[in-house]
Structure 1
């Protein structure tokens, strides 16, 4: 069980992360900065790795996957130019950390993960943190989520040799 002391240490580590890794590298979007300050990244990694959660590097989350380094999460989120009223499709839920950052800013997040175990683990953490503006799907992210389209923004957090046409087709005009 995590005590107040631990929570305070993680909060301080999160503040240092945002200052030294996010703001110092040029992330200016205040919504992104505030989301990064709020979301407890340490809860999205294994307990044995929590002391490293705010480091400037990716960490393993199982199934050969990693949680992206904080700067990459901030950079990709800032690139979406979210205003707060968007419906966002995320391809590659992974740990759910990027999902949480998006959910702090967007109106609704639709997230797809191909691995059922990772999806369930991420969903459990996100729901425990009180997020209610996220829809989860297990499946092939390259196919998107046609029944929920169109999306105002799409973020792909998984590797792909090219942009899948179904994702392009599901992106709203504008």
Structure 2
């Protein structure tokens, strides 16, 4: 029996993503069109559309589909933006961003994940997405971006990420400490960044952005 990925994709959009207040038609269209299973390892392919964080190696996981939908909707991409993704992972979120924006630069600290993500994106014909093997805390883009998507939680938002955001730009990030993490949209404004709270959630930390270790006596 062949697994019906198209039907699973339809169920994901209609029964997971849309009910979680993702109503942007362009975002729903991208999630309904892109083959998420092509970005998942063979072992987990049948779970590609489940409401789960799927493992992708090195202890990393993919966003749940609902979180992908909410992040994409929050960024309000109109098609002309230059986007930075911090944490390429499987490459699926970069594929979504690339389908909604003009160009995407995605960085990934694990070289093998970066290489696999780039190959998957190329296989989908997404020539406007480039994946760079780099650590966000050692890399300098030399430019700013209209939108930034941080694909891992931060204890506090690193100032270097804010420097990469163009005035008038938007950054999606999950910040704080469990169990009180929240997804926020940071607006780059003339008088300094303005943070808009979106919803509560939980997410693994971006490497290098974890809370400092607490000494216990």
TM over 0.5: yes
Check the 8 A contact 1:154/1:171 in 2, yes or no. Answer: yes
Contact (CA 8 Å) 1:90, 1:111: kept in 2 or not?
yes
- Counterpart CA distance in 2 for 1:42 and 1:95 is 11
Does residue 1:161 correspond to 2:155, yes or no?
yes
Of Structure 1 and Structure 2, which has the larger fraction of its residues in strand? 2
- Secondary structure of the structure 1 residue equivalent to 2:145: coil
* 1:54 aligned partner: 49
1:45 maps to what in 2? 40
Spell out, residue by residue over 1:99-133, the C-alpha distance to the aligned partner (whole angstroms, 9 max, x if none).
Answer: 11101101100100000011011111110111100
Distance (whole Å) between structure 1 residues aligned to residue 107 and residue 50 of structure 2 = 26
Which consecutive residues of structure 1, in runs of 5 or more, have no partner in the other structure? none
Residue by residue, what CA displacement relative to the aligned partner does 1:20-74 show, whole Å, maximum 9, x if unpaired? 0111221011111011011111111111211111001111111111111100011
Is 1:83 aligned to residue 81 of structure 2? no
- Alignment RMSD: 1.3
C-alpha contact (below 8 Å) 2:118/2:130 kept by paired residues: no
1:10/1:42 contact within 8 Å kept = yes
User: Which residues of structure 2 form unaligned runs of 5+?
Assistant: 169-217
- Secondary structure at 2:49 match in 1: coil
Aligned residue for 2:93, secondary structure, equals: helix
Matched residue count: 167
The TM-score normalised by the length of structure 1 is: 0.91
Runs of 4+ with >4 A deviation: none
Could you tell me how far apart the structure 2 residues matched to 1:92 and 1:146 are?
A: 14
